[in-house]
Amino acid sequence: MDKIKLTTGPLSDKLSLNETLKKRGSCRNFSDKPIFKNQLASILWSGQGVLTRNYDMRRTTPSAGSTFPLELMVAVRKDGVEDLAQGIYHYLPGQHTLKKISEKDISEDISAACFNQEYLKKAPVTLLVASEETRTTRMYAERGQRYVYMESGAAMQNISLEAVEMGLGTVIVGAFDDAAVKKLFELEEVKPLAIMPVGYPKDKAFYA
């Protein structure tokens, strides 16, 4: 399947970290306005972007023992991203690339799999944070499971703040049917942890 090279997004740094934190909040009402591929690239970079390639292999999110158990999947709705076709993609952090998995628009099905949380139908992009836990439990045994959850929290907060920085909104969605989500994203080995719809907030006052 196709691979799409991403350029790192605007990284505008308009807001200070404290300003960004003050504006953080869950967004559940998305406008029809598409986002840009560069913005999606920034969001993905904030979640798992590779910073250094030497022995420490730093990413934007810390990882217990640098085991990097997280995977980010992306569902793009029809006309959801200005210069990227609808479909399901897998983010490959090492190459800062999207690998196309399918051309389906699964936004309606995601909403159904999240026990009919309606606002998910409207999000231009929906991320899935998933994990291959054995990468971490191989090193830390059972305790590794909690490390994976800690790490996913760090990644999701990065994504939330990066969204704010670009005037976009998101929310962490934990209520969903695991089996249905796995099937939708065509996952075999990895476990779905959380869903994050991303888009422009419909309510202009959201970031006021």
Ligand X SMILES: Cc1cc2nc3c(=O)[nH]c(=O)nc-3n(C[C@H](O)[C@H](O)[C@H](O)COP(=O)(O)O)c2cc1C
Is residue 173 involved in binding ligand X (CB under 6 A)? yes
Which of 4, 25, 82, 96 is the binder for ligand X (CB under 6 A)? 25
State whether residue 36 is helix, strand or coil.
coil
Which range, of 13-21, 47-55, 123-131, 171-179, touches ligand X by CB under 6 A?
A: 171-179
CB of 12 to ligand X, least distance (A): 23
Contact, 45 vs 98, CB < 8 A?
no
Contact characters 107-126, ligand X, x per CB under 6 A = ----------x---------
| Cα-based distances in Å from 194 to 55, 81, 155, 164 | 30, 21, 11, 19
Is residue 28 involved in binding ligand X (CB under 6 A)? yes
CB of 196 to ligand X, least distance (A): 10
Q: Please tell me the distance from the alpha carbon of residue 150 to that of residue 144, in angstroms, as a whole number.
A: 10
* Other Cβ atoms closer than 10 A to 91: 24
Task: Closer to ligand X by CB, 125 or 171: give it.
Answer: 171
Q: Please tell me the distance from the alpha carbon of residue 114 to that of residue 196, in angstroms, as a whole number.
A: 11
Positions that interact with ligand X (CB under 6 A)? 25-26, 28, 117, 171-175
